[in-house]
Amino acid sequence: MTDARPRIVVTRKVAEPAMELLRETGDVFSPDPDRALPPGELQAAVAGADGIVSTLQDRVDGALADAAGPQLKVVATVAVGYDNADVRALTDRGVVFTNTPGVLTDATADLAFGLLLAVTRRLGEGERLLRARQPWSFHLGFMLGTGLQGKTLGIVGLGQIGQAVARRALAFGMDIAYTGRRRAPDDVERQLHARHLPFDELLRTADVVSLHCPLTPETRHLIDARALDTMKRSAFLVNTTRGPVVDEPALADALAGGVIAGAGLDVFEREPDVHPRLLELDNVALAPHLGSATVETRTEMALLAARNVVSVLAGEGPITEVKA
């Protein structure tokens, strides 16, 4: 570090403890008002930055690094996924890129299971009925849902969040199957009583398919019309990873046509837009990207991002670096 205090740009408002930590290290700038900046404004905002704290709304690439200038040392995203970042372009410019793994695992797993309960037990549908002041009366056939005990949860991507969802499913008496690019360690399979299956076999046999794979060119529209048609007509889909992993129009068709029984979605292809047909269907539970949205989790995410920036600017290296 030079004698001058480094300039640190925080592109969107983050928890105050993280801001305080950054202020101890450098001069912190954050755009006001707090909003997602279009590329031109974002590039102007980061000019002269030694460190940047970014969010999923920001395109982090070579153009952003060039706009900041050759003194830029680190970009820390307040997220686990980094499909919005060109890590190779940053690395080629000598810029360290970091993310926030681990700290949002339980919050996202809780949300995934909440969506599953909401769609299988028709909680959103029931609440809408009451808020609309529709007449109702209890009887033994009223708004019957689907139980989870003895059903198979098929997890696509048995990473930290996938494993956390599996642990919750075990508590509900579910059986665990999973698929992914590689098998999980033997001890993880034993602890979760998890069976590894090829992707298509998992689709054919699972009662619930829960998505926890990263968004890559290979996983974009992984769940398309063919995949949905492979699933059981009684099956449910849960997506808390990235919206483009699912072909949204194909999912709307499948839900409307009874190809699958229902879905729980926290993420969407073109956020904040949601496919209008999904909004019209009762057999889908929807949430506005709330996976990590607890005070505790978002604070820890911001603190980890801030610690990464502070550590790199102090010459001590990153804590959770993403390699190109």
**Domain assignment present for 168:** yes
Catalytic annotation on 242?
Answer: yes
Structure tokens at 121: 């037990």
How is residue 156 annotated by DSSP? E
**Domain assignment present for 114:** yes
Of 121, 167, 220, 271, catalytic: 271
Rounded CA-CA distance 78/109 in Å is 18
Q: What CATH code is carried by the domain that includes residue 305?
A: 3.40.50.720
pLDDT at residue 1, rounded to an integer: 44
Rounded CA-CA distance 87/48 in Å is 20
Q: Are residues 96 and 123 in the same domain?
A: no
Rounded CA-CA distance 6/182 in Å is 42
Catalytic annotation on 289?
Answer: yes
Q: Are residues 139 and 271 in the same domain?
A: yes
The answer to whether 324 and 62 have CB atoms below 8 angstroms apart is no
Distances in whole angstroms, Cα of residue 287 to Cα of each of 87, 214, 258, 269, 283: 29, 19, 22, 13, 14
β strands within 217-274, DSSP E = 236-239, 262-265
**Domain assignment present for 322:** no
pLDDT at residue 3, rounded to an integer: 64
Q: Are residues 273 and 218 in the same domain?
A: yes
Q: Which residues contact 137 (CB under 8 A, 6 or more apart)?
A: none
Q: Are residues 164 and 97 in the same domain?
A: no
Range of the domain at 29: 7-102+295-313
Q: Are residues 201 and 273 in the same domain?
A: yes
The answer to whether 260 and 233 have CB atoms below 8 angstroms apart is yes
Neighbour count for residue 243 (Cβ, 10 Å): 19
- Max Cα distance, the chain (Å): 75
Q: Which residues contact 271 (CB under 8 A, 6 or more apart)?
A: 243, 289
**Domain assignment present for 324:** no
CA-nearest of 178, 177, 230, 227 to 204 is 230
Catalytic annotation on 12?
Answer: no
Q: Are residues 236 and 121 in the same domain?
A: yes
Which residues of the chain carry a pLDDT beneath 50?
1-2
Rounded CA-CA distance 201/194 in Å is 14
Q: Are residues 282 and 307 in the same domain?
A: no
| R_g (Cα) of the chain, nearest Å | 22
**Domain assignment present for 224:** yes
Per-residue pLDDT tens for 226-278? 999 999 999 999 999 999 999 999 999 999 999 999 999 999 999 999 999 99
Of 168, 196, 221, 289, catalytic: 289
Structural domain total, the chain: 2
pLDDT at residue 235, rounded to an integer: 98
**Domain assignment present for 319:** no
Q: Are residues 88 and 157 in the same domain?
A: no
Q: Are residues 44 and 188 in the same domain?
A: no
Of 7, 122, 242, 307, catalytic: 242
pLDDT at residue 4, rounded to an integer: 87
**Domain assignment present for 256:** yes
Q: Are residues 254 and 126 in the same domain?
A: yes
Q: Are residues 90 and 231 in the same domain?
A: no
Instruction: Find the helix packing angle between 160-171 and 105-120, rounded to 10°.
Output: 50
CA 131 to chain centre: 30
Q: Are residues 56 and 195 in the same domain?
A: no
**Domain assignment present for 323:** no
pLDDT at residue 213, rounded to an integer: 97
